Structure 1
């Protein structure tokens, strides 16, 4: 399972996942979508909460995960809603690390 894995070091020499690999991995996630911005595929999900404090708490959990895995997403915190977007900046695409971190975000949201 993705949420049990750890991120591996990713550099500009790493290879982005192919379309087939991305489509296979996204099947292991819950309601994440692949969006493309400026030609870069990104993994994104909107999480909904009852209030700002719960959304803030979730954002902090994602931030702590990012530091632990040394892999950092875009996090948009709003009242009752957090949008998390993962992609690998160094390769301008998606890496398995993005899917690992997405799976871990789903665990936080379920708590």
Structure 2
């Protein structure tokens, strides 16, 4: 089976199925630096990346934005001095879909 970062997001619609707790646990093994948070009852994947300068964090946030556009799936990106927090979830289903895990894994690859 290919690594998550090698997969492509699939088109998602309002009746798409959220990942189960078991599926989520299995997928989390591929992205151990990420955590599941719950905001207003909605599970989301979040990771904060640390950089030495604002400019490095800014450049990384731009790479995340380019990834989002290419995948057609868009995260919340918070840019601060030396930090870039990225949060993935599927807005249409108000929770986590496999696409979110794929994009989290692809986000990790942007560090290389």
TM normalised by structure 1 equals 0.97
Q: Distance in 2 between matches of 1:55 and 1:12?
A: 33
Q: Distance in 2 between matches of 1:31 and 1:3?
A: 14
Aligned equivalent of 1:18, options 17, 20, 23: 20
Which residues of structure 1 form unaligned runs of 5+?
none
TM normalised by structure 2 equals 0.96
Which residues of structure 2 form unaligned runs of 5+?
none
How far does residue 78 in structure 1 lie from its aligned partner after superposition?
0.2
C-alpha RMSD over aligned residues: 0.6
How far does residue 30 in structure 1 lie from its aligned partner after superposition?
3.2
CA contact (8 A) 1:30 1:106 kept: no
Count of equivalent residues:
110
2:42 matched residue in structure 1: 40
CA contact (8 A) 1:3 1:104 kept: yes
